[in-house]
Amino acid sequence: MDLVTEFNNLNGATVERSILKALLAKAKRQNHSVIANRLSRVLEQNNDKLFTIEIANFIEPIGLSGADQSIILPTLEYISEEDSEGLNGVAQDDIYSYITDLIINTIETVGHLPWQKDWVGSGADGTAKNYVSKKEYTGANFLLNFDIKFDKEGKGYLVPIKFIQPYYLTFNQIKDTGASLKKDSKARRVIYYTMIFSFDNGTLQIKTTDREKFTEFVKANGLTKEDLNKYLKKIPVIKYYNVFRADDCTGLKFPEAIGNKNVDPIEQAQNLIDGYKNPPVYTFVGDKAYYQPATDKLNMPNIKAFKKEASYYCTYFHELTHSTGAKKRLNRDMTGMFGSKSYAFEELIAELGAVFMCSEAGILFQTRENSAKYLKNWNSVLVSELENDNRFFLKASAQSQKAVNYILGRNSDTEESTVKEPAKKNVSKKPGKKKVSRSKKVGLSVSVKVTKTSAPERVKKVVSNQDKSLNALEKLGFVSAGTAPTEAKDVFVLGGEIGKFLQKQQPHKALILIKGNKHSSKSQLAMQIANAFGEEEIPVAYIDYEQGGIESKDTLDSINRNTTEKGRRYVAIKGYLEKPFEELQDFCKIVKVIIADSVTDLKITADQLNYLRTTYPKIIWCFISQVKENGAMYGGNKMAHNPTSVIHCSSHPDPKERFATLEKNRGNDLTLKYSMYYKKLVGQPKKRKLSFKVK
């Protein structure tokens, strides 16, 4: 069952909390922000174990989530269709699965992706394109450069095509040119998107994929921009049409080959690199190729270190693609550790970027200098993510195309990617019609949007007299408090009982300080916090001085007692730092959470920590600090480092009697009590409410 159907089917059902959490995890894997946000709000606002669901606004079973629209649509062609072609004629999941199955089957059958080996026949003049428009197929449609073969079980997989002529045509285009199609020729799919325009104000209704028809409807009824903002839904729908290879046709005439005919392909490759506007800093030292986001440096070994020049440029293109993800460029998530979803996503973007760039340069695509072990590990991660999210490859190829367009100075956004309002001419506003502000519906729960009302004349005058002062303050970096949201956008709550204890957290210079005497289970609590982040698939660097690192029996016991199989996959442990300040800076470039047991042994100054928290404000720090018998902290009060949360662990000979309480927690409840032994909140009054209903 697909995600949207599964969500909508919750309506009227009574389900356990674990069901909603599992669906939330699935929504996050598929990056469906609408469903994820609605489920997150319900789980955060209600601590019940049982829920009776009533959905006020169903998710459309068609179309793309907002996140997917911004990623995928700019690299696809927009086609306005006549209604006769059907409003909902194609199941989008079938298209996603078609592409995903091809990639998975290719890895399992061939052992690697086809562009990780020598690719015969390439260059801009040899890349698949439409016969009539001469436009190259980009993004996921770049797969038209590869043929589909079938294994013994009938599963399709990709192999490079040795084109005679690198063109494709639709069946109608073949007919229009007077050519004919050879018997038993196989069609291929070209992905595109169309838009459903759905308008309903209670009196006027229309639902169409025909843009021209909708524009006429707007003109004929004198609809205003306000009308469209209130009552129009625009739903992008992914579809496909079939094309056939020109090599399978007879009677076609072909243009003379152009492109790289008179160009040295290696010179062309270097020209692409030299044409990159505002590139990273290039260095050429050592024997490793890498891009470093923190310093915006791209390092390449000397070209003489490569067996073939083409391999050098292929590797260079891979790292160039990585560099487009920098915050000042396309701002992709570059923080993933090997084995994580974000790492797999970024690595696939770079692999595809190298393919696209090599094609543009007219060089043979060579295997990157990777070991068989790396490729095996990479493929296993990729297959796992593809199985979890059938849009994974489509989104990666779209991001890759966007990256290459950025390097080449091309505009990757199509006019239709944001779908502008239909043009309106001579449309008069209906008399007496006022814009009505409505509450913003966010899903299962509703956030109330405050409607601005007319203020008394006296108030208006006071505000007016302050305009100059406010403008002057804004120029100095101030922001009006009147524009503040109800809650910061990056506030989060961890899952499980530890999440209920820590409550709302915000990763802005965040520092959780765990303090207590000996035998107070501080280390146990820290490991449980690490596990909670790990279960959210957030990588954690755990520095374990107290117990001697990963090989220590105590550490292994702590891992087994306090982590789950899923959580520990994202927790990496190190026992000693030779150069703490320098190494911590390296960790900040890789992970989002750093836990140290203990801060005294870490041996960094308050000034150094302040530098790290200022330079890397999104890193969440968690320190353990032992307290002396007199209540003072080892290393002095300076070791408190101005934490955002302070947890006190009480000591007791019996581990069952050790509890954690909150002394400080940025606006959260300080009355909660947490048991490290039982791994749950204790002493909480039982709630009688067993279900809820939100419209």
Do β-strands 645-649 and 540-544 pair in parallel, antiparallel, or remain unpaired?
unpaired
Query: Cα–Cα distance between 128 and 311 in angstroms, integer?
Result: 23
* 73 three-class SS: helix
Nearest CA-CA partner of 695 in 390, 412, 445, 407: 445
Of the two residues 473 and 90, the one the predictor is more confident about is 473
Query: Cα–Cα distance between 354 and 116 in angstroms, integer?
Result: 10
Within 8 A by CB and 6+ apart from 417, the residues are: 73, 74, 78
Look up residue 33 and give its two tokens: 């922000």
Nearest CA-CA partner of 521 in 651, 428, 424: 651
Cis peptide before 523 (omega within 30 of 0): no
Around Cβ 567, how many Cβ atoms within 10 Å? 24
Q: For residue range 474-489, list pLDDT tens digits in order.
A: 656 566 676 666 666 6
Query: Cα–Cα distance between 82 and 208 in angstroms, integer?
Result: 8
- Find the radius of gyration of the CA atoms of the chain: 29
Look up residue 188 and give its two tokens: 């291929």
Look up residue 455 and give its two tokens: 């203020």
Q: For residue range 644-694, list pLDDT tens digits in order.
A: 899 999 999 899 999 999 998 877 888 899 999 999 998 765 443 333 333
Least confident of 334-348, 353-367, 461-475, 559-573: 461-475
Cis peptide before 180 (omega within 30 of 0): no
Write the CATH number of the domain with boundaries 496-681. 3.40.50.300
The amino acid present at 301, given as its one-letter code, is: P
Q: For residue range 364-409, list pLDDT tens digits in order.
A: 555 555 555 566 667 777 888 887 777 888 888 889 999 999 999 8
Q: For residue range 491-520, list pLDDT tens digits in order.
A: 888 988 999 999 988 888 899 999 988 889
**Residue 609 pLDDT > 70:** yes
Look up residue 529 and give its two tokens: 């916090």
CA distance to 303, 308, 332, per residue, from 288 (Å): 12, 16, 23
CA distance to 399, 533, 534, per residue, from 493 (Å): 29, 10, 13
Question: What's the chain's average pLDDT?
Answer: 77
Count of alpha carbons within 13 Å of 123, Cβ hemisphere only?
A: 21
Nearest CA-CA partner of 83 in 187, 189, 212, 260: 212
Band (pLDDT 50/70/90 cuts) for residue 418 is very low
- What is the pLDDT at residue 474? 60
How many residues does this entry show for the chain?
695
Nearest CA-CA partner of 244 in 191, 188, 192, 190: 188
- What is the pLDDT at residue 174? 94
Query: Cα–Cα distance between 45 and 7 in angstroms, integer?
Result: 19
Residue with tokens 């922000």: 33
- What is the pLDDT at residue 299? 94
| Residues β-bridged to residue 645 | 512, 665
Q: For residue range 18-58, list pLDDT tens digits in order.
A: 889 988 888 777 666 668 878 888 888 888 888 888 876 66
CA angle 98, 101, 107 (to 5 degrees): 145
Q: What single DSSP character describes residue 323?
A: H
Of the two residues 117 and 508, the one the predictor is more confident about is 508
CA angle 649, 497, 644 (to 5 degrees): 55
Is the CB of residue 54 less than 8 Å from the CB of residue 163? no
Within 8 A by CB and 6+ apart from 238, the residues are: 64, 72, 76, 90, 92, 95, 96, 191, 192, 193
**Residue 119 pLDDT > 50:** no
Is the CB of residue 169 less than 8 Å from the CB of residue 131? yes
Band (pLDDT 50/70/90 cuts) for residue 425 is very low
Maximum distance among all Cα pairs of the chain, rounded to whole angstroms: 95
> What end-to-end distance do the CA atoms of the chain give, in Å?
25
Query: Cα–Cα distance between 500 and 662 in angstroms, integer?
Result: 12
Is the CB of residue 299 less than 8 Å from the CB of residue 292? yes
Residues of the chain with pLDDT > 90, as a percent, come to: 25
Question: What are the domain boundaries of the chain?
Answer: 3-59, 496-681
Query: Cα–Cα distance between 335 and 30 in angstroms, integer?
Result: 19
Is the CB of residue 8 less than 8 Å from the CB of residue 53? no
CA angle 132, 136, 138 (to 5 degrees): 135
